[in-house]
Amino acid sequence: MQSIGITGVGSYLPEAIISNAEIGHGAGVTDEWIVRKTGIRERRRAALHEATSDLAAVAAERALRRAGLTADQLAYVVVATSTPDHPQPATAALVQDRIGARGAAAFDVNAVCSGFVYALKTVEKLLLSAAPGEPRHGLVIGADLYSRILDYSDRRTAALFGDGAGAVVLGPVAPGRGLRRVSLVSHGDAHRLIRVEAGGSRRPASASTVTEGGHFFRMDGRGVRAFVQRTLPVEIERLLTRAAVPHDAVRHFVPHQANGAMLAELWPDLGLPRAALHLTLERYANTGAASVPVTLADMDRTGAVAPGDLVVLAAFGGGMSLGTALLDWTLTPVTADTPTPAGELLSPLTW
C-alpha cells in the first residue's frame, strides 16, 4: 500500500526578538522567574503589518522549496491555527492565494495547540484516498500570533507565547515509511481550562467585552499541567502499542513547546529511553499550533534527524485536545544539491 510522509519542511519566525525583561516588566515578574517557571528566555513577535497568513505563507514557501515542488502541484492547503486573520474567510484560502496553489482545496483546522497533528492526520487520509491521476501532495501549516490576544499584565500567560509558523509538505513515500500512525483524542469536559471567551457567537464583540478583557487568552495553568501529566503518557503508550513499536526504538520526541519546566518534569514518565527530547521554546516560546513543525524544521536544518529515524510527535491544547504521531523520517539531509525552486520570499498581504 502507498504510504504518506513528510517530503519537505520549513518555518518562519518574525524578526523581532522580545526578551524576558521586556515581558516581565508589564507582568510584574523577573527574567529569573520566567526562566525558572517556563524555561523560556525570549520569543518572536510579528510586525504590525504581519498577520497569521503572512507567517504561514513564508513557512509554506520554504517547505515547498525543501520538497522540490511548486505550489501548483498541491491538492490541499490546510492551516492549523486558533488565531486566524479573520473569522472568515479561512486563513488557508489567503495562503493558497499568496503561494499560487491554484485548484488546491484550502481550509483551516482549529484544535488550538494540537491543530498541526490534527491537520496532519486529515491531509494524510485525504491523500491516501486520491484517485489515479489526482495530485498526491498536500501542505500542512501550523501558524499562530498569540501576541495579538495576550493580556501582558497576566503573569500566568504573558511570558509563555511567541509568534511563528511551521509547515510540512506531505506526499508519497516508500511503503511502510512516513506516517506510521496518528492518534487523536479530545476531552471536551475540560474545555474551560483554555479559552478566549468573547468574539464568537456566544459573546459577540462589543464595548463591554472589550472593557472586560473578554478577547484575551486565558488559561488555568495548574489545571493544564495536571491534564497533560495524566493523559499524555497514556496516549504515547497507546500510540506505540497500536503501532507495534517498542519504546526503545524511538529516536526523537517532539512535543508541543508549552512550558519547559512542565516538559522536564513529564519527560521521565514517557518511557522513551533512547529518544532525544527536542525543545525550541527557549528561543521561540510557545508558538501554538506552529510549535511542532517549527521544531521539526530546526531539526532538519541542523541535521539532528536522519532517514529511518523513528520520531514521536505529541501536541496538546484547548478543547482539551491531544494528538500523537509516529513517523519514519524520510527526508535526506540538507546538502548543496537539495532542490530549491526559484522564487523570492513573499511580501506582506495587504487588503
pLDDT (tens, 9 = 90+) of the chain, 351 residues, equals: 689 999 999 999 999 999 999 999 889 999 999 999 999 999 999 999 999 999 999 999 999 999 999 999 999 999 999 999 999 999 999 999 999 999 999 999 999 999 999 999 999 999 999 988 888 999 999 999 999 999 999 999 999 999 999 999 999 999 999 999 999 999 999 999 999 999 999 999 999 999 999 999 999 999 999 999 999 999 999 999 999 999 999 999 999 999 999 999 999 999 999 999 999 999 999 999 999 999 999 999 999 999 999 999 999 999 999 999 999 999 988 764 444 333 333 333 322
- Residue 108 sits in the same domain as residue 246: no
- Residue 156 sits in the same domain as residue 292: no
Of 154, 175, 196, the position where a domain reaches its end is: 175
337 found inside a domain: no
- Residue 38 sits in the same domain as residue 131: yes
- Residue 19 sits in the same domain as residue 161: yes
- Helix, strand or coil, per DSSP, at residue 57: helix
- Residue 15 sits in the same domain as residue 159: yes
- Residue 269 sits in the same domain as residue 162: no
- Residue 152 sits in the same domain as residue 27: yes
339 found inside a domain: no
- Residue 212 sits in the same domain as residue 102: no
- Residue 22 sits in the same domain as residue 107: yes
pTM of the full structure:
0.93
- 106: region left, alpha or beta (phi > 0 left; psi from -120 to 50 alpha): beta
Of 117, 150, 175, the position where a domain reaches its end is: 175
- As for how many domains the chain has, the answer is 2
CB neighbourhood size of 243 (10 A):
17
- Residue 65 sits in the same domain as residue 98: yes
Q: How many whole angstroms separate alpha carbon 143 and alpha carbon 51?
A: 10
Measured in degrees and rounded to the nearest 5, phi and psi for residue 164 equal: 180, 170
Q: Write out the residue range of the structural domain in which residue 99 sits.
A: 3-175
- Residue 95 sits in the same domain as residue 10: yes
Do residues 286 and 162 make contact, with C-beta atoms less than 8 angstroms apart? yes
Q: List the catalytic residues.
A: 113, 256, 286
- Residue 185 sits in the same domain as residue 96: no
Task: Give the chain's length.
Answer: 351
Q: Residue 48 contacts by C-beta under 8 Å, 6 or more apart in sequence?
A: none
242 found inside a domain: yes
Do residues 258 and 233 make contact, with C-beta atoms less than 8 angstroms apart? no
222 found inside a domain: yes
Cell of 38: 517556563
Residue 18 sits in a domain whose CATH number is 3.40.47.10
